[in-house]
Amino acid sequence: MQNANIKIWKTNRKNLINNLEDLTVKELNHTPKGFNNNIIWNVGHALVSQQALIYSTSNLPMHISNELFNLFKSGTKPESELNAKDIALIKFKLTETMEITEKDLGSNIFKNFKSKTTRTGFHLGSLDDAISFNNYHEGIHYGLIMSIRKFI
């Protein structure tokens, strides 16, 4: 099951990265009327959520800074515009964390998964549950990004 989930995740990450390619910094930071966030926030949120879902629930350190985590964690919204350097870091981290996570999955370091229930009511009882839920979660944010693009 993990193989298909990794393929889905890689495809979704590619789509997230592609959404950073053809838009300006101003467009990525634009929050359209009726939305609580913008494209770059959704991408950053997907990044930090994956780290929390996979690493934190496994009692392992995340591969992102606390500053980045606090900027995009659940319950946050864009407070200020990000610059081109910030956006480049997010783009880099999308790829880097995917490569690290895939390597870590192959190394079998995820031994102490701590079950939890997400804010949406999905119970994560295992690492496989967390990986599947992450794909669902990133898919939701990809959909939001596609909606926001219509207003740019």
Taking the CB of residue 11, how many other CB atoms lie within 10 A of it? 13
- As a whole number of angstroms, the distance between CA 66 and CA 126 comes to 25
Residue closest to 51 by CA, chosen among 120, 121, 104: 104
DSSP reduced 3-state for 124: strand
Domains of the chain with CATH codes: 2-149 (1.20.120.450)
Question: What is the pTM assigned to this prediction?
Answer: 0.95
- As a whole number of angstroms, the distance between CA 132 and CA 34 comes to 29
Residue closest to 12 by CA, chosen among 117, 76, 4, 85: 4
Contact 11, 133 (CB under 8 A): no
DSSP reduced 3-state for 123: strand
Structure confidence by residue, pLDDT tens digits, 99-123 = 999 999 999 999 999 999 999 999 9
Structure confidence by residue, pLDDT tens digits, 65-75 = 999 999 999 99
Residues facing 116 on adjacent strands = 124
